[in-house]
Each structure stands twice: as C-alpha cells, then as structure tokens.
C-alpha cells in the first residue's frame, strides 16, 4: 500500500525517479553542425507535403546551443532524472550498410558536455539510442527492412554506451518500434514515408533484432549498463466487451503489443500474428537463430502511454469509423485489420484528438507485472498536447494539462498499489518541440517555447509538477 501524506492525499515510494523526456530531432536543431549528416527525418521534413506547414527540425528549439539553460530549468524544477536521445548521425556520420565508419568525436563531445551538465545538476540521465533519426545512408540501403541496419545499430550502441558510461547508467535501445515500423513503412506518415505492409513487417523483425543485438553488445562491453526497451503498448479493448469484437482486440493486441513483447521477452513470435499476416509476407527475413538473438530481456521495460485504443468488429454494413490520431494518414498502419474499426470516443480529447482515459496506464502496467513478474517498469513517456496560450500576465495557464497529469500519475499509483514495480515517470515533454508530422503546431511541453525568440516560459503545469516532485511524490487533489 502507498503511504498517505499529511493531507490524506497519496504518495509515491521514496526512491521513485521523477523526470521528463525529449528526443534529439525534436529539440536539438543544428542539423548541419558538429559533423552531423542527414537522418531520415531531415529528408522527410524537407519533402513538401509530409509535415504540417512545411516545418522541419533544422532549428527546432535550438537545444544544441541552449542545453545549459534547459538543464538549469530541470534543476529549478527539482527533477531527478532526464530521458534524452542521442542522434545516431552525430556519432557515426559516415555509416553505411556494411560498415559503421569512423566515430565523430565532435558528436560524442556534445553529449558528454550535456551529460556532465546534467550530473552537475544532480540529474541522472537515461539515454535512448534510437528515437527515429536513422542515418539517411542506411535508409538508402533499405533502412529497417535490411538486417544490416540492426547490425550497425548494435555497433553504434556500444560506441555511445562506452563513451557515456558510467555517468549514464541506463540505455534504452529503441523508442516505440511500433511507430518506426508501421508509421514509417506502412502508413507512411513518419519517415521514411514508405507505404508497403510487407516492408513494415520486415522492419518489425529487424527492430526487434536491433534491440537484441545491441543489448548483447552493450552487456559485453559495459557490464554495469542497465538496458531498457521502450514500447508504446496499447490498452486495447472494445466498448461493449462483445465477443464479436474479440478478434479485433486480438489483432490489434498482436500487432502493437505481442509482436514486440513475445520475441524480446519469450523468444517467439505470436502464431496468430504470423498467420494473420501470411498473405502479406512469409516472414522469411527471420533467419535461423534470430529468435535467440532477439530474446534479450531488458533490465527495465519502458511503457509510453497517451490514450486508450478502442476497437470494434466492422462487418461492412455501415461506413467504417477510423478515429485517426494522425490526421495525415493516407494508408493504414494496421496490417490485416480490414474488419477492425476504431470508433470515435465520447468525452475529453487532447489537442491531438486523442481521447483521455487514464485507466489504460494502470491496466498496462498491471498487465506487464502479471505477465512478466520481476520485470522492472518505468513510464518513459506520458503527457498531452493542449492549445496553450501565452497569457497577458506572461504565464501559460494550462489547467487541462495539470488535470491530465494528475489523473495519469494517480493511475501510476494505482498500478504500484497493485504490486507493479514502477520505478519512475518521465513526463513528455520538458519543452514544446517538433511534433513529427504535426510540426510545431502541437505543444506537449511543460515549458512553453516562443518559436520566434526561443524564449522559454514555465507553464503552470511545470510548477505543478515541480511541487509534486519536491514534495517527494505527494499527489495533490488539485
């Protein structure tokens, strides 16, 4: 049970890690500095029509030059940890499919300085090795459809872990391979923008392989490193719990959850997913012995959660509903789901159009604890976009975000009370930033960015979160 605070509110465990999260392409800018070469997101964002308003990450929030100010903000808020990502094209700018190429010391130096600044501020960094900025040269050779990308990734991962250890104790191999595979190669709303379901399934396997190879390689080179894997798991359910919807639930659970969890945690692919997708691919890219390579249980599983996934069987008798959280979707990310619909949800939604239901976070954490007892868990992303405005008094009064955060932190506490070993929470995001195909039109930060001046302004939610953190995890009622 969770200790009560003085006001009778609820409290997190004393050693709980409180952080925020960001990703390199979304905040750094400086895309042509420090020896960096293009990633697939440079190419994609510079392709007309791919990103809202033609926005790119060229400047982003200029974190590459302003990181000391951003670390100072985290220190002021009292955060104890920070999840950041490393841009692969800064580390090995000349990587090709068959060779990693020389290590770019200037790229490593940037991250060493950032890490030193964090450590000096008393903030423990957790580094994501791949948050979607694949070197373009690898995509030109097939990207995640080619297993050599996984091999090169493992080599790059060791370079980073050796350079940043022991100051960085935690390395998260991949962020949300679901997005990399299906949004990158099936729906095409993310880089590299391909629309080929068979390619997406090859990407699924090679991303799983990348996790396994990198985990083995880091553990050999840096035995003390703690390895994580971050998945955007779906809390998938039907509205009515009608058995007619069970097949829709099973398919979405298979494609979003089990096709990543099962090989990594248990060394096998789910039979039903292989069968459902047999007309799309024969999965012959899985080579003998691959599942042993993929089967590398991380030290901690990162769960990213934003919104529930509600599905329904669609029998063709009425127009199909596809609640589309990615307004620009032109092809489906859902393979072999022709009879699945995603009904519009009643109630509150965020600015992304995503329905709000914090119960899913409890459900997912408790499910992971039930199915994989002993596996440490962290919430590596949770947060919301709202239409924030800079008020006349100079503040940003984002009560809607505070409500969202309070509800979701309560959901994390519910999971802890049910025994789930949740070790930390990383709020997405520290700063407003480049929200992928939505460009700068969506603001997820607890710190507001003026994109003309790059001035940072704490939103009310930042002060609220700081109070929770500084109180040692007391969750207020308001």
CA 280 to mean position of chain CA atoms: 27
With 0-12 / 13-18 / 19 or more C-beta atoms within 10 angstroms meaning exposed / middle / buried, residue 275 is exposed
CB of 232 to ligand GBH, least distance (A): 5
Nearer to ligand GBH, 185 or 428 (CB): 428
| Of 142 and 325, CB closest to ligand GBH | 325
Near ligand GBH by CB under 6 A: residue from 65, 326, 359, 367: 326
Interatomic CA distance for residues 310 and 33, integer angstroms: 43
Nearer to ligand GBH, 94 or 324 (CB): 324
Under the binding rule (CB under 6 A), the answer on residue 303 touching ligand GBH is no
Q: Which is nearer to ligand GBH, 136 or 307 (CB)?
A: 307
Distance separating alpha carbons of residues 436 and 327, to the nearest angstrom: 12
Output Rg (C-alpha) for the chain, integer angstroms: 21
Minimal distance, residue 11 CB to ligand GBH, in Å: 28
- Choice from 37, 136, 208, 232 touching ligand GBH (CB under 6 A): 232
User: Which listed residue (17, 23, 336, 427) binds ligand GBH by CB under 6 A?
Assistant: 23
Active-site residues: which are they? Answer: 176, 381
The Cα–Cα gap between 266 and 72 comes to 42
The verdict on 180 binding ligand GBH (CB under 6 A) reads no
The answer to whether 196 touches 202, Cβ cutoff 8 Å, is no
325 binds ligand GBH (CB under 6 A): yes
Query: Contact between 41 and ligand GBH (CB under 6 A)?
Result: no
Distance CA 81, CA 21 (A): 9
Residue from 430, 435, 443, 456 that binds ligand GBH (CB under 6 A)? 435
Report in angstroms how near the CB of residue 104 gets to ligand GBH at its nearest: 24
List the helix and strand counts (H, then E) for the chain: 17, 15
Asked if residue 264 lies in contact with residue 193, where contact means CB atoms within 8 angstroms, the answer is no
Which positions from 354 through 383 interact with ligand GBH, judged by CB under 6 A?
A: 381
- For the beta carbon of residue 329, count every other beta carbon within 10 angstroms: 15
DSSP 148-216: HHHHHHHHHHHHHHHHHTTT--EEEEEE-HHIIIIIHHTS-SSTT----HHHHHHHHHHHHHHHHHHHH
Contact call for residue 88 and ligand GBH (CB under 6 A): no
Using rule CB under 6 A, residue 428 touches ligand GBH: yes
Contacts to ligand GBH by CB under 6 A: 23, 26, 175-176, 179, 232, 304, 306-307, 324-326, 333, 381, 428, 435, 444
């Amino acid at each position: 049970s969770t200790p009560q605070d003085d006001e009778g509110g609820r409290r997190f465990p004393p050693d709980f890690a409180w952080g925020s999260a960001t990703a390199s392409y979304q905040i750094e800018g400086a895309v042509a500095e420090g020896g960096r070469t293009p990633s697939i997101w440079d190419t994609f964002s510079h392709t007309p029509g791919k990103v809202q308003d033609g926005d790119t990450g060229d400047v982003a929030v200029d974190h590459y030059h302003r990181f000391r100010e951003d670390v100072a903000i985290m220190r002021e808020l009292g955060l104890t940890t920070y999840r950041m990502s490393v841009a692969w094209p800064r580390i090995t700018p000349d990587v090709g499919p068959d060779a990693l190429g020389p290590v770019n010391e200037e790229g490593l130096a940037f991250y060493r300085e950032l890490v030193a600044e964090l450590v000096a501020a008393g903030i423990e960094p957790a580094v994501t090795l791949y948050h979607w900025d694949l070197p373009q040269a690898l995509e030109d050779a097939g990207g995640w459809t080619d297993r050599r990308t996984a091999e090169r990734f493992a080599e790059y991962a060791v370079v980073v872990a050796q350079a940043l250890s022991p100051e960085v104790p935690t390395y998260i191999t991949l962020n949300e391979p679901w997005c990399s595979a299906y949004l990158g190669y099936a729906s095409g709303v993310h880089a590299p923008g391909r629309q080929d379901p068979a390619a997406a399934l090859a990407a699924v396997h090679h991303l799983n392989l990348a996790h396994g190879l990198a985990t083995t390689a880091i553990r050999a080179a840096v035995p003390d490193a703690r390895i994580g894997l971050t998945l955007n798991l779906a809390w998938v359910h039907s509205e009515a719990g009608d058995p007619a919807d069970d097949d829709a639930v099973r398919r979405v659970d298979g494609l979003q959850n089990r096709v990543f969890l099962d090989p990594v945690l248990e060394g096998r692919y789910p039979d039903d997913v292989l069968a459902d997708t047999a007309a799309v691919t024969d999965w012959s890219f899985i080579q003998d012995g691959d599942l042993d390579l993929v089967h590398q249980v991380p030290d901690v599983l990162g769960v990213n959660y934003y919104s529930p996934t509600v599905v329904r069987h669609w029998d063709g008798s009425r127009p199909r509903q596809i609640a589309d959280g990615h307004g620009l979707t032109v092809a489906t990310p859902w393979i072999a789901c022709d009879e699945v619909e995603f009904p519009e949800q009643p109630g509150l939604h965020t600015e992304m159009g995503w329905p709000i239901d914090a119960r899913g976070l409890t459900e997912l954490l408790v499910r992971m604890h039930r199915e994989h007892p002993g596996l440490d868990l962290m919430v590596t992303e949770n947060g919301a976009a709202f239409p924030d405005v800079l008020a006349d008094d100079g503040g940003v009064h984002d009560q809607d975000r505070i409500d969202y955060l309070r509800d979701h932190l309560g959901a994390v506490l519910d999971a802890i009370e049910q025994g789930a070993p949740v070790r930390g929470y990383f709020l997405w995001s520290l700063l407003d930033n480049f929200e992928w195909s939505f460009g700068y039109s969506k603001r997820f930060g607890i710190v507001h960015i003026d994109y003309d001046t790059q001035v940072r302004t704490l939103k009310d939610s930042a002060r609220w979160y700081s109070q929770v953190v500084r109180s040692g995890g007391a969750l207020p009622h308001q």
